[in-house]
Every structure is written in C-alpha cells, then in structure tokens.
Amino acid sequence: MRIDRAGNKGLIREINEALVLAELRCESLQSRADIARNTGLSGPTVTAITSRLIDRGLVEERATGASAGGRPPVLLGLRPSAGYVVGIKLTEERAIGVLTDLDANVVARADAALTSPTPAAVVGAITSAVHALAPAGHGRILGLGLGMGGVVDRDAGIVRHATFFDWRNEPLAEKLSEAIALPVLIDNDVNALVASEHGWGAGRDVENFAVVTIGRGVGMGLVLDGRLFRGSRGGAGELGHAKVVRGGPRCECGGHGCLEAVIGDPALRAALAGHLGREVTVDEGGALARDGDHRAAAVFAKAGRHLGRAVGNVVNILNPDRILLAGEGTRNLDLIMPAFRRALDETVFDGLQDGLSIHVEAWDDEAWARGAASLLLNELFQPNLRPDRAEPTLIGLSAG
C-alpha cells in the first residue's frame, strides 16, 4: 500500500494515537505507564497523547490504581459514549439493525421490512432502520457496517454477487452513503460475525480460527494469524459451495452437489419430506428425531457426516486452533454433532486435531447485526493511511 504521507509528523501522531486507543480498547483501565510499556511508546509521548484524547472526550480517567510506594496511578479507559455505530444484518426479508457504543454494547434496536429485492428497496429499508436508531446516537453516529450474504468486495464497496438477490457488481456502499450521509462499510455477513467473535466472543485472543455457519445456507469466515482473511476480492470462505456429492442436487449457485445444496435448510426439508411422506419444517423434523423417529434422525446424521468431512478438510488445509459453529442450524446441532465428530475424526490428518476445540455459538439475528457494527468499530481504531479515501476513524474526532 502506498502511503502518500510517509514521514509526515501528522501521520506519525495519528499512528501513535491509534496505538493508544487500540491498547485501551483491548484492555481498559490502564495507567499511562501501562500504556507506554504495552505500546513501546515513551512516557512523555503517552502523556501528551492521552491528554489530547481526554480533551476530545475519547478517553476518561476512571479510577485510581494501587500504589507501588508513590502516588497511586490514575487508570484510563475509553469513553464508550464518545461515538456510536450502526450495524445492519440484511436477510431476504428484513434489515435488522442495532446501534452500539464504542465498546460494542447494543444501546438501541430497529428493523425494517424489505418491500422488494431491488437495491433501491434495500437502501430504503436500511435508511428507515438508521433513522429509527438515530435518536439514541445523540448526533454522534460515526458510520454504518452492513453484513449480507454473498461475495462482497469490501474495499470497493461493491456487492459482486448477492446470495439472496439477483445482483451483480452492485455499488451498494456508495448508494447507502449517499442516502444516509454517513460512511458505510459492507462485508459478507459471516465476516461480520467473525469480527464480533474475534473482538468480543469465543475467538478473542485466538490467532487462527474458523466460523462455520449453517442454516438457510452454509458459510465460513476465517481469522488467520490474527487477521480476518477475505481473499483477493472478498470471496474467501465459500465453504457452502465446496462440491461434496458427485452429481448431487442442483445448488442455487448453478452447480451440483454443493455442501449447501445437501445440508442447507431447503435440502433438509426436502430430505425430511422424502423420508416422512409429508412436508415438515426443519425444527419439526428435529422434534420428531428426538422423539425417536429414526427416519428423521437419519436425515440429520447424514447432514452431520457431510459437514464433518467438509470441516475436516478445512482443518487439513488451514490447521486452525478453533472451529466455531453458528447460525440458525445450530438449533438442531445435538442431532448433527455425533455424526459430525465421527466424520471430522475420520477426515483430519493425524495430529492436526491436537489442541483443536469446537465451540457452538448461540444464534440470533442481533448477534449478526452487532458483528456488522464490529466491522466498522475495527476501522475506527485505525489511522487513516489513505487520506484519499473517506474511511471512518476516531482520530481527530471530537465527542463534544
């Protein structure tokens, strides 16, 4: 990346301020000496930076620490109410939104129905949700993070392919930003969930992990060497379109035998109907399986085998420390997990399961919306290395 301001004192100051903010974000209630030690900055530099951040309302003196023989240190922390961000989870039918403070605490919720699958209708629904959330932001909303299914070019703000809509190369970030007069960051919805897990959930302090989501579709997000991995054009993690059944059922992507076409909710409903001779929902099929219906149980066991093999191959290729299973499909994970674990054990290369942990995350739409807010929060704590791009940042913000 070319940095036009290389060597500029103002840029160095921004980078140092970002270091201090990021350090307080990771661990609040630190003394100035703690911050200097943890960031490698000098004591006088930290003192000057924290004074500026306190004056701008971003940092506050919270408490007094234990004395080591002299004056007790003053402990600093971020001021969560210095700014707010909107997070939107876009589904086939709704724009589900939350407003969070700088600590990702949800302070307000709103959602709006989609009247049609067109970009204009989506922009309208998201705009309605933002307007409903705005009063709780007290005039300090810094931007919007949007998570949606599909291949999203995050840097360009373009939806290359939308999972639930017939879109190609749609410049959605630009249209949204014009409509709500705020910076907008869009990403794949699973990446949004990964951002939340990495910052505040089961992926915190884990250098290498994968989030695998099951339900209406199948998705995957990755953190590799401590960084969210998106691929060259935002398409990394399309586990749902790994081919697992030769000549298998047709997938919505146009291919055949995709994992999503075999274990996604529509596939499970079709399999249950074929075994039971009548239409049931996935949850109804789960209830029948728990009540002893072996035909329904076999459907979930088969799904578990396919998922276990697919995740096993992810482990073989990437060797993560942790796998997080999430999404609405986890409601029936008790029926899937035995076959999943057996298939995982059979697939993973000898030794690669050592230290591997499997976590199941509680599912709700708010968690995904909070994840979308996390995408933007992560950007806020970075210096603006590209002044030609209008990216949101806390540097230079006055909280008032």
In this prediction, residue 383 carries a pLDDT of 62
- Please check the confidence at residue 400 and state whether its pLDDT lies above 70: no
Q: How far apart are CA 169 and CA 157, in angstroms?
A: 10
Inter-CA distances, 353 with 348, 350, 357, Å: 7, 7, 8
In this prediction, residue 287 carries a pLDDT of 96
Edge-to-edge strand ranges of the sheet holding 184-188? 106-113, 94-101, 84-90, 141-148, 184-188
Phi (first) and psi of residue 56, to 5 degrees: -85, 0
Give residue 56's domain range: 9-78
Q: Is residue 390 part of a domain?
A: no
The highest-confidence range among 38-42, 311-315, 353-357, by mean pLDDT, is 311-315
Q: Which of 221-230, 263-272, 294-303, 369-378 bottoms out in mean pLDDT, i.e. has the lowest?
A: 369-378
169-210, pLDDT tens digit by residue? 999 999 999 999 999 999 988 888 898 888 778 888 899 999
71 and 104 in a common domain: no
Report the CATH number that the domain containing residue 176 is assigned in CATH: 3.30.420.40
Q: How far apart are CA 356 and CA 379, in angstroms?
A: 30
245-268 burial string, b = 16+ CB within 10 Å, else e? eeebeebeeeeebbbbbbbbbebb
Q: Is residue 111 part of a domain?
A: yes
190 and 144 in a common domain: yes
Q: Is residue 324 part of a domain?
A: yes
255 and 226 in a common domain: yes
Tell me the two tokens of residue 352. 């690669």
Tell me the two tokens of residue 318. 């990437």
In this prediction, residue 385 carries a pLDDT of 53
Parallel, antiparallel, or unpaired for β 322-326 and 357-360? parallel
270-319, pLDDT tens digit by residue? 999 999 999 999 999 999 999 999 999 999 999 999 999 999 999 999 99
Phi (first) and psi of residue 244, to 5 degrees: -120, -15
Q: Is residue 387 part of a domain?
A: no
Mean pLDDT of 60-85: 79
Tell me the two tokens of residue 336. 């899937």
Residues with catalytic roles: 189
Q: Is residue 23 part of a domain?
A: yes
330 and 220 in a common domain: yes
H or E segment to which residue 87 belongs: strand 84-90
In this prediction, residue 72 carries a pLDDT of 78
Q: How far apart are CA 152 and CA 168, in angstroms?
A: 10
Q: How far apart are CA 94 and CA 303, in angstroms?
A: 28
In this prediction, residue 67 has a pLDDT band, given cuts at 50, 70 and 90, of low
Give the type of residue at 254: G
Q: How far apart are CA 43 and CA 64, in angstroms?
A: 18
Q: How far apart are CA 368 and CA 192, in angstroms?
A: 7
338 and 216 in a common domain: yes
Q: How far apart are CA 218 and CA 327, in angstroms?
A: 9
Q: 273: buried, middle or exposed (CB in 10 Å: 19+, 13-18, 0-12)?
A: middle
Q: Is residue 54 part of a domain?
A: yes
In this prediction, residue 6 has a pLDDT band, given cuts at 50, 70 and 90, of very low
342 and 209 in a common domain: yes
Q: How far apart are CA 230 and CA 223, in angstroms?
A: 9
For 189-296, list the strands marked E by DSSP.
209-214, 218-224, 227-229
Nearest alpha carbon to residue 108 among 397, 373, 362: 373
Q: Which of 5-19, 54-68, 342-356 bottoms out in mean pLDDT, i.e. has the lowest?
A: 5-19
Report the CATH number that the domain containing residue 62 is assigned in CATH: 1.10.10.10
Between residues 228 and 380, the one the model is more confident about: 228
236 and 101 in a common domain: no
Nearest alpha carbon to residue 172 among 106, 118, 132: 118
DSSP letter for 74, please.
E
Which of 78, 102, 121 is the endpoint of a domain?
78
190 and 107 in a common domain: yes
Q: How far apart are CA 277 and CA 172, in angstroms?
A: 43
* Total number of domains in the chain: 3
Which of 20, 55, 78 is the endpoint of a domain?
78
95 and 49 in a common domain: no
Rounded to 5°, angle at Cα 195 from 81 and 354: 135
On whether the CB atoms of residues 307 and 338 are closer than 8 A, the answer is no
Nearest alpha carbon to residue 70 among 98, 97, 31, 108: 31
Map residue 243 onto helix, strand or coil: strand
Q: Is residue 391 part of a domain?
A: no
In this prediction, residue 397 carries a pLDDT of 53
Tell me the two tokens of residue 366. 């708010």
375 and 336 in a common domain: no
284 and 305 in a common domain: yes
Tell me the two tokens of residue 151. 């291949």
Q: Is residue 96 part of a domain?
A: yes
180 and 214 in a common domain: no
Quick one: CA dihedral 56, 59, 63, 65, positive or negative? negative
